[in-house]
Structure formats: structure tokens, C-alpha cells
Chains A and B, each alone.
Chain A
Amino acid sequence: MSEPIDIPRRESGVFRISVRTAGIMLAFTLVFTALMAGTHKLTAPMLAASALAEKQRLIGEVLPAAAYDNELMADAILLAPNRYLGLDDVTSLWRARKNGAPAALVLETAAANGYGGRIGLIVAVAADGRLLAVRVISHKETPGLGDYIDPKKDRNKARPWITQFSGKGFESIARDKWRVKKDGGQFDQMAGATISARAVTNASGRALAWALENRETLFALPANSRFEADGGKP
């Protein structure tokens, strides 16, 4: 590394050095941005494949295989970006049927207001209006504090926090009680990490309300069609 340079008194010298330094900074920026872009390009297909595998595993967790008998992955609807569900991109929504009758909807939703930003969720809503289960797809909550929303990180292995939504519906818990206890609702939160729990609880409530509102339309659509409605606030 070079030693500090004595700044010459002449203006033009200062200018030349500034330009040279800026040029070097620019060169470093370009080289390392290119390296990052290259790594991204190289790894993107593998990342997409493992994200898909993970999603299929999570669908298996929210929707028991015995609950349906159709080809779930083929019976999909493309859901346009949906502000109410917190989805900025087109996502898939899957329709589970048993003996031809609607059994459950599996959809993605997201909470924008986690402690570490966006929390991606997947939920299954049964035909009887109950939430079958919720799972976290992606999150950036603090390790060891807010990450209990992911059952893999939850210390309570017998009954992870996120399983308390399983089997709940607006018949057992009123819509305005679908909150964490700290907000006057019915769901537990862990002390010291309420924001994570609140984000997941509120997002799952919104997803359930949205699914109940739209499910007749959704089940009537032909497979692989696109659903545009942004969903009013039920």
C-alpha cells in the first residue's frame, strides 16, 4: 500500500490526483460488482431449485397428503401481485380436492412488518373455513430471539409456536381477536420478540379472511388461469 501523498499546491495537481483516486475506486467497484453478478448468475438456477424443493416440503407440512386426492401441483392458479396478502410478485396458489369436492386452498402470503423485514408464509385453508396450518417460508428475524416462528428453530419441539394456528378459524376465534395476546387477541407471543409473532399472526389472519372471501371464485377458475382481483379488506 502506498504512503500518504503530499498534496501538491498547484490546483491542477490536486485535480489530477482526485480523478486518479476516483478512477481506482470506480475500477474496484466495477470488478467486485462483476464478481458478485457472476456469482449470482452462476448460482441462481440452483437457488431457484432448492427454493422450489423447500416450498414443496412446506406444502406437505401445511396440507396432509390424506386430505386430498388430486394432482395438487397441476391444479394451480396464478395469483397476480396482491397488496392485501403482501405479495409483490406473481405467486402460485394450489387447490386441493377430494373426490372432486374442494378440500383446501394452499396459498402464499407475507408480512412486511417482521422485525427483520419481510416474512414469507404459506398457509392452507380447509373447506370448512379453518386454517389447517401456517409455515414460514422465508424470514430474517433475529437468530435465537425472533426466529421461533420457524418450527425448526423453536425450542419447544413438542408444540412449536406456529402450530397454535392449526385448526383455528373465525368460528372459534373472532376476526378482531385474531391477534397476539399483547394486542388483546388470543395467540401467544414470546416475551422479548413480540414483533415477529405479531407479524405472523396478523398475516395469517389476513390470508384466512382473503381465502374465505375468494374461495368460491378460486375453485371455479380453470387450472393455470390467472386471478387478478386484489381482494377487498373483508
Chain B
Amino acid sequence: MNAYKEIAWNGLWKQNSILAQLLGLCPLLAVSTTLVNAVSLGLATILVMMLANFAISALRALIPYEIRIPVFILIIAALVTMVDLAFNAFLHDLYLVLGIFIPLIVTNCIVLARVEAFAAKNGLRASTVDGLMMGVGFVWVIALLGAVREFVGQGTVLAGIEMVFPSLSGIQVLPEDYPGFLIAILPPGAFFVLGLLIAGRNWLEARANQRALQKRLHDHPPAANAPA
């Protein structure tokens, strides 16, 4: 497995920011009420993570080890502020959709975690790819979480899509008189669904480990006289 493949695999699954590292839960739980909101936050997060990893990888030789965390936080907060202002000024239509999510990213500790664990020790390209892949790993999980909460909570899929693509509209999947299941929309619902997703990941991982072990036993059976 080459280095970039490994970075991608780590971001998407093995070290997935939500499922494995359980980082960035604050914006995750607050915003994953619908699929459209979730993906919007996810896209803004990808952008900030790539920028933060790039900037800190570029400046890493200048940052003294003892004060790295305050400097990282300073750089991340400044980047988020600048992205927020630039989006508002130059991409105003997109800002009307994504804008509200950008300041939330400052509270996402996954950005700081990747900067500290990866960008501070690796080159520019690898760090930017790591930011991208960690971001994509964040997006697919938050999208799944948002879709489940939206479906269970209000019986729709893609509600609010008209803010992004005015020609589309959300789909009412369950009957119109579906009373809704409020707790799925409220924060406890986020914890329930997230718990199920993490349990699912752990189950898949445990099964994969079990299979690997069986395969090893099959290929190299223990000697008959080996101690039990």
C-alpha cells in the first residue's frame, strides 16, 4: 500500500474522524438534522481541513514545539475567519447556504487533531491529501447520520435541497401524515444514531479481524503438540 493510499484508507475508514477517533462531535451532533445540512457542513469542513493542514505543514519549521498548540489554534481560527469573509464577499450565493456552518468548524477538534497528528510532521502534499481524506471521511459519516435522522425524524429525504439547487425539492418518502419522530431531530437522536453507526463499524472490524485470524490459523495451523 503506498503512502497516499494509506492516508486515504485511514481518513475514510481505519482512522475515520467520527467512527474511530470520535472527534468533532460538537458540530456533528448539532448540524446532522438533515442530509443537506450535513453535507453542507461536511464540504465546508473539507475546505478548512485542507487549508489548515497545508498552512501548518508549510509553517511547521517555524513553530516552536512548546507553543505549537496555541499557534495551531491561532492559525486555524484565522483561516476560518478569512474563509468566512472571503466566501461572503466573493461567493455570496454559496455563502447563503454554507455560511452559517463555517464558524462552527472552529469548534471541530478534528481540525486541530489532524494538524497536530499529521500536518506538523509531514510534507505539504501528504498533509493536504490527509486533510482532504479526513474531510471526506467526515462527510460520508455525517451524511449518513443526517439522512437517517431526517428520514426517521420527519420522513423526508433531501429537505432543503432547494437552497442549493433551486430547481430541485426534497422528497416526502413516508406518507404526508407521518407524525414525525421528534427525538431523532433533537440531540439525543444524534447520539442514538451515532451509537448505532459506531456499533456497526465495530462489528465490521471485529468480523474482519476474526476472518484474518481464521485465515492465519488455516494457513499456519498450530503444531499438534503445541501447548494449548
Q: Interface on A for B, CB 8 Å cutoff?
A: 1-5, 20-21, 24-25, 28-29, 32-33, 35-36, 39-40, 42-43, 46-47, 50, 140, 142-145, 147, 152-153, 155, 191-192
A147 to B60 Cα, complex, angstroms = 39
Q: Interface on B for A, CB 8 Å cutoff?
A: 30-34, 37, 41, 60-68, 70-71, 74-75, 78, 81-82, 85-86, 88-90, 92, 100-101, 104, 120-121, 154, 156, 159-160, 163, 182, 185-186
Contact of B64 among A21, A144, A152 (CB under 8 A): A21
Known: A1-B121, A39-B86, A42-B89. 17 other contacts (CB 8 A): A1-B63, A20-B64, A28-B74, A28-B75, A43-B85, A43-B90, A46-B89, A142-B30, A144-B30, A144-B37, A145-B30, A145-B33, A147-B100, A152-B163, A153-B160, A192-B182, A192-B186
Residue of A nearest to B83 (CB): A39
Q: For residue B100, which residues in chain A have a CB less than 8 angstroms away from its CB?
A: 140, 143, 147
A1 to B61 Cα, complex, angstroms = 4
A143 to B100 Cα, complex, angstroms = 8
19 chain-A/chain-B pairs, Cβ below 8 angstroms: A1-B60, A1-B61, A1-B68, A2-B64, A21-B67, A24-B62, A24-B64, A24-B67, A25-B70, A28-B74, A35-B78, A36-B78, A43-B86, A46-B88, A47-B88, A143-B31, A143-B37, A144-B30, A145-B33
Question: How far apart are B164's CB and chain A's nearest CB, in angstroms?
Answer: 12
Q: For residue B37, which residues in chain A have a CB less than 8 angstroms away from its CB?
A: 143-144
Q: For residue A5, which residues in chain B have a CB less than 8 angstroms away from its CB?
A: 65-66
A172 to B59 Cα, complex, angstroms = 64
Residue of B nearest to A147 (CB): B100
A3 to B66 Cα, complex, angstroms = 9
Question: How far apart are B92's CB and chain A's nearest CB, in angstroms?
Answer: 5
A43 to B33 Cα, complex, angstroms = 32
Q: For residue A24, which residues in chain B have a CB less than 8 angstroms away from its CB?
A: 62-64, 67
Contact of B85 among A2, A39, A140 (CB under 8 A): A39
Q: For residue B34, which residues in chain A have a CB less than 8 angstroms away from its CB?
A: 144
Q: Which of B61, B90, B100, B121 has the most CB of A within 10 A?
A: B100
Q: For residue A4, which residues in chain B have a CB less than 8 angstroms away from its CB?
A: 65-66
A234 to B100 Cα, complex, angstroms = 35
Q: For residue A47, which residues in chain B have a CB less than 8 angstroms away from its CB?
A: 85, 88-89
B63 in contact with A191 (CB, 8 Å): no
Question: How far apart are A48's CB and chain B's nearest CB, in angstroms?
Answer: 10
A144 in contact with B31 (CB, 8 Å): yes
Sorted nearest first, the 4 A-B pairs with minimum C-beta distance are: A144-B33, A43-B89, A46-B89, A32-B78
